[in-house]
Amino acid sequence: MISLATFGNELYTGERSYPIVQRRKWWFIIAIAAMVLSGLIVGIKGLNPGIEFRGGTEFTISKTSVHTGDAARDVLAKNGVSEPPRVSTVGTDTVRIQTENIPVPEGKTSGEMLRTVSDELAAAYGVADNDVTSSSVGPSWGADVSKKALQGLVTFMVLVTIVMAAYFRAWRMGLAAILALIHDVIVTIGLYALVGFEVTPASVIGLLTILGYSLYDTVVVFDKVRENTEGLFEQYQVTYEDQANLAVNQTLVRSINTSIVGILPVGSILFVGAFLLGAGTLRDIALALFIGMIISTLSSIFLATPLEVVFRNGEARIKEHTRRVQIERGEIDPEEATVPVSRPKSSAAAKVDTSTDVVEPGQHLGTRHQPRKKKGRR
């Protein structure tokens, strides 16, 4: 069995290569299908926004052996709450109850109503009064949190585009990275909706974190693409697409290793937070990280660089060079080339023999070999 080090060396030297960029149509179809499916999941099933986004009241009951929601429903219905509460178990002896804001009848304050409901919940679950805590979030505060989360996401995208374009001096790389990030966001949100976990501020933090991770992985691949294509127009053996595919293969093992190292601890946190402790914050952020890191790794390999190649292949200079390489390889007939092919100046100068003044058709020896006009006498 081949070792990972040998496998990585073969990929780096080009001895072994996978046509990832060449099969980009398949990756684009899969990516579009994944985004459409994610949109359908969100549209049909919908997200499960936490109390921080939708507003409402949360009660936390500690040291209880009753984990059903029947007692909570009875108490809340008695106090005028029509919406069924969301009851979840946290750990082994804690119950969390989320519901709409408690109606406040005339002659009472919201604080008095919270204390009344807390006392009744304590009696229903068989715990002391001080084992029940409550907190309320108004609808305006929840709407403000949603607005700020969206603003943070849009600001991140804009800054990424500017930084990528400035770093690589090529707007096409920035655009390809942004499209890959948009794919990561949509697919992650779709899978999050499919699982049904609550969308909380911790989820948003996890989403922004995986966007940074995806960007980091994409920048590494793009940097290798730039390095491989520095002397592209000085030769006619490989195309821009070939060199970009080589860059993806050269960074493939690194991307896999980095992803595994990152996913394993996140998966452990997700398992502990979701199944052992039932901790909502750990579970929410770990799920976003776990899904997003896998999707981001795949998009940096199969989506970002192929998109960048599509954009670069539209340039006239790249088209001309690609046609010339195809002609040199014998892949197309020179007469069938739809793009005019010109010989670069460096190649022409190399074939000029200044000692014999012999040139090829279409070349010249420079201004120093042109006839000089004699100065006339006055």
User: Does residue 115 contact residue 103 with C-beta atoms inside 8 Å?
Assistant: no
- Asked if residue 324 belongs to a domain, the reply is no
Q: 30: pLDDT confidence band, cut at 50, 70 and 90?
A: very high
Determine the pLDDT at residue 75.
84
Taking residues 48-69, what's their average pLDDT?
81
CA distance 254 to 245: 15
Q: 359: pLDDT confidence band, cut at 50, 70 and 90?
A: very low
Q: What is the DSSP letter of 80?
A: T
| Residue tagged 């006239």 (tokens) | 316
CA distance 82 to 90: 24
Q: Which helix (H) or strand (E) holds 48?
A: strand 48-49
Residues 210 and 280 placed together within one structural domain of the fold: yes
Residues 130 and 251 placed together within one structural domain of the fold: no
Determine the pLDDT at residue 99.
83
- Asked if residue 74 belongs to a domain, the reply is yes
Determine the pLDDT at residue 144.
76
Residues 222 and 130 placed together within one structural domain of the fold: no
Tokens of 7: 């496998």
Residues 43 and 100 placed together within one structural domain of the fold: no
3-state secondary structure of 58: strand
**Residue-range definition of the domain harbouring residue 40:** 8-49+141-313
CA distance 17 to 19: 7
Residues 156 and 171 placed together within one structural domain of the fold: yes
196: domain CATH number is 1.20.1640.10
Residues 111 and 190 placed together within one structural domain of the fold: no
Final residue in a domain of this structure, among 262, 280, 313: 313
Amino acid in the structure at residue 83: E
Residues 119 and 242 placed together within one structural domain of the fold: no
Residue 347 confidence (pLDDT) above 70? no
| Residue tagged 């507003």 (tokens) | 55
Residues 14 and 108 placed together within one structural domain of the fold: no
- What's the number of domains the chain is made of? 2
3-state secondary structure of 137: strand
Q: 267: pLDDT confidence band, cut at 50, 70 and 90?
A: confident
Strand partners, 199: 49
The string of pLDDT tens digits covering residues 59-68 is 888 888 877 7
Final residue in a domain of this structure, among 287, 313, 339: 313
| Residue tagged 């108004």 (tokens) | 138
Residues 31 and 147 placed together within one structural domain of the fold: yes
Using a pLDDT cut of 70, give the percent of the chain over it: 83
Mean of the per-residue pLDDT values of the chain: 79
- Asked if residue 344 belongs to a domain, the reply is no
- Asked if residue 333 belongs to a domain, the reply is no
Using a pLDDT cut of 90, give the percent of the chain over it: 15
Please tell me the chain's helix, strand, coil percentages from 3-state DSSP, rounded to the nearest 5.
Answer: 65, 10, 30
Tokens of 301: 């390999």
Residues 273 and 201 placed together within one structural domain of the fold: yes
Residues 119 and 90 placed together within one structural domain of the fold: yes
The string of pLDDT tens digits covering residues 170-214 is 788 888 988 998 899 899 889 888 988 778 777 887 887 877 778
Quote the Cα angle for 329-332-333, to 5°: 110
- Asked if residue 234 belongs to a domain, the reply is yes
3-state secondary structure of 199: strand
pTM: 0.74
The string of pLDDT tens digits covering residues 99-142 is 887 887 777 787 888 888 888 888 888 888 888 888 877 666 66
Region of 55 (left: φ > 0; alpha: ψ -120 to 50; beta: rest) is left
- Asked if residue 269 belongs to a domain, the reply is yes
Which of 179, 141, 144 lies closest to 24, judged by CA? 179
74: domain CATH number is 3.30.70.260
- Asked if residue 325 belongs to a domain, the reply is no
Determine the pLDDT at residue 281.
63
Contacts of residue 172, defined as CB under 8 A and 6 or more positions apart, other chains included, come to 308, 311, 312
Which of 24, 4, 35 lies closest to 260, judged by CA? 4
Burial label, 331 (beta-carbon count in 10 A; 0-12, 13-18, 19+)? exposed
**Number of C-alpha atoms within 13 angstroms, CB side, residue 189?**
19
Burial label, 46 (beta-carbon count in 10 A; 0-12, 13-18, 19+)? exposed
Final residue in a domain of this structure, among 75, 104, 136: 136
- Asked if residue 118 belongs to a domain, the reply is yes
The string of pLDDT tens digits covering residues 285-331 is 888 888 888 898 899 899 999 999 999 998 899 999 889 888 888 77
Residues 229 and 149 placed together within one structural domain of the fold: yes
Q: 360: pLDDT confidence band, cut at 50, 70 and 90?
A: very low
